[in-house]
Amino acid sequence: MSVTTAGSFLALLSTGAILYVVPPGRVANWTGWTLFGLTKAQWQGLHVCFALLCVLASAIHVYLNWRPLAGYFTSRVSRAFAFRAEWLLAAALCALIAGGSLAGLPPFSWILAWEERIKESWDRDAASPPIPHAELLTLGALAAREGISFDRMQANLAAKGIAVESDGAIVGEIAAAHGMTPSRLYDLARGIERQGKGRTDGKGGGGGSSGGAYGGGGLRGVGRTTLAEYCAAQALDLDAALARLAADSIQASPDMTIRDIAEGAGLEPRELRAIIDGGQ
């Protein structure tokens, strides 16, 4: 049972490390992200199952070795329950980690911030769905949201050999039935051709290139670019963009990142970019 406990713990450690760096669900599901052939949901399933196995194996291990473990908690002289210095040290360490994490104090806050930055780095134009978990929408609902008629989307897909019988078909289900990502299906439904096809393998960019400096799966996410950099890449007038933001009472400066401006205004980066672009 010791081997099972150790093995499940190592598996739990490995899957936990992978889940630390995987993209957000809205990106992973939309782009068909995988690592070593497994989706994010499958990695999460493995993590939960190995956690349960580790708990069960540990409980059985304690049961089978109860006497030596109980002896560790008693005095060798009096055979009575006795405190040990290492217990207090372990308790203090656990309390420190719990308190520091909840209070958002360094270095615990750094660990959480690093995770957030890693996950946000996946969220770029080529990987982002039009809305979170758009793969769960019906094709008709997605068409209405994008301002495109369902008949047009249906015709675009039919031209690629993808038959959609009704506007109630789920985007993710249609994509899965034809061996492609929801992102790829979305492009085809809108009549857009991109380079990439099929599923990604730990890269998160199944949609291929969307044009511009930030399409095509660039390493730097749009959210981390400054307003000046974004305007330069999109051939936008910086002063005009600042004026549009000011008209919406959004505070911004050229050296602020898209993400920081969006967070300050209580908007999603995509919504902010729509204001900056001015309908272009």
Contact call for residues 56 and 5 (beta carbons, < 8 A): no
More confident residue, 218 or 117: 117
Give domain status of residue 173, yes or no.
no
Domain residues for the domain of 57 are 2-120
Give domain status of residue 263, yes or no.
yes
- The percent of residues in the chain predicted with pLDDT above 90, rounded, is 26
* Cα–Cα distance for residue pair 52/50, rounded to 1 Å: 5
Contact call for residues 51 and 90 (beta carbons, < 8 A): no
Give domain status of residue 22, yes or no.
yes
Place 259 in a pLDDT band, splitting at 50, 70 and 90.
confident
Per-residue pLDDT, averaged over 48-75, amounts to 85
Per-residue pLDDT, averaged over 249-257, amounts to 89
At which of 120, 151, 177 does a domain end? 120
At which of 120, 155, 188 does a domain end? 120
Contact call for residues 255 and 228 (beta carbons, < 8 A): yes
Contact call for residues 188 and 215 (beta carbons, < 8 A): no
Give domain status of residue 246, yes or no.
yes
Q: What total number of domains does the chain contain?
A: 2
At which of 90, 120, 150 does a domain end? 120
Give domain status of residue 127, yes or no.
no
More confident residue, 85 or 191: 191
Least trusted range by pLDDT, from 3-17, 97-111, 200-214, 242-256: 200-214
